[in-house]
Amino acid sequence: MLQTVATDVHSLTVSFEVGGLLDLGGRMTVIRLPDGGLWVHSPVRCTQEARAAVDALGPVRFLVAPNLMHHLQLGDWARAYPEAKVVAPAGLKLKRPDLRIDRELGDAPDAAWAGVIDQALVRGMPQVDEFLFFHRPSGTVLVTDLAFNIHRTGSWTTRVYLKLCGAWGRLRPTLVTRHAVKDRAQVRASLPPALAWDTRRVVVCHGDVLETGAKEALRDALERL
């Protein structure tokens, strides 16, 4: 079930619908840290099959909610892996007081993954508070909701919506994402660290992995926020 994206980077793609109208798909990314432990980004539904695929890679050390929106499945994974640390933006504690959160994401990466994973909070979008992540050894950037990269769908409503957004078949933010921007100056001030990364591919939660022209496409997408 897990696909290898790069050395120590694996992803699991699942179906995900919004309101019965939009078929956006979803993706969980699993990074193996140097000590062999697993860092799980945006967990999807915690099925027996998903757990078996993850367990085959190694022990789960961290379960990461990358923004204030991707938390729906986190509780099930936290219960399944009680020894794993649940990591999330600070604001998620207010939104999900029922959820166990062990560590809050900050400007600097946690010491446990600082050697291989960088992170950057995109400010100015308080309803989202998304962290971008960069796996340095593979040049992989993880994007959650700030941009989609959907090239195919069986849903005509999804296709029409993304075309209206200018986001069909390319890495782009959607209208909903751009509407979430409350302070454009803060957003722009947040981008330089991520734009400086040596990006070789972009792994999105919604759409296809981008392998060609990734650095330029990421810059173009983020600057459209």
Taking only the tens place, the pLDDT of each residue in 36-76 is 999 999 999 999 999 999 999 999 999 999 999 999 999 99
Collapsing DSSP to helix, strand or coil, 218 comes out as helix
User: For residue range 120-136, what is the model confidence (pLDDT) as tens digits?
Assistant: 999 999 999 999 999 99
Element spanning 40, H or E: strand 38-41
Q: How many CB atoms lie within 10 A of CB 141?
A: 24
pTM of the model: 0.95
CATH number, position 165: 3.60.15.10
Name the domain count of the chain.
Answer: 1
- Give pLDDT tens digits for 84-122: 999 999 999 999 999 999 999 999 999 999 999 999 999
Task: Report how far residue 98's alpha carbon sits from residue 79's, in angstroms, rounded to the nearest whole number.
Answer: 12
Range of the domain at 138: 3-106+113-223
Instruction: Give the tokens for residue 209.
Output: 């992995």
Task: Provide CB contacts within 8 A for 186, sequence distance 6+.
Answer: 123, 124
| Contacts with 179 (C-beta within 8 Å, 6 or more apart), sequence order | none
User: Residue 157 is inside which H or E element, if any?
Assistant: helix 156-165
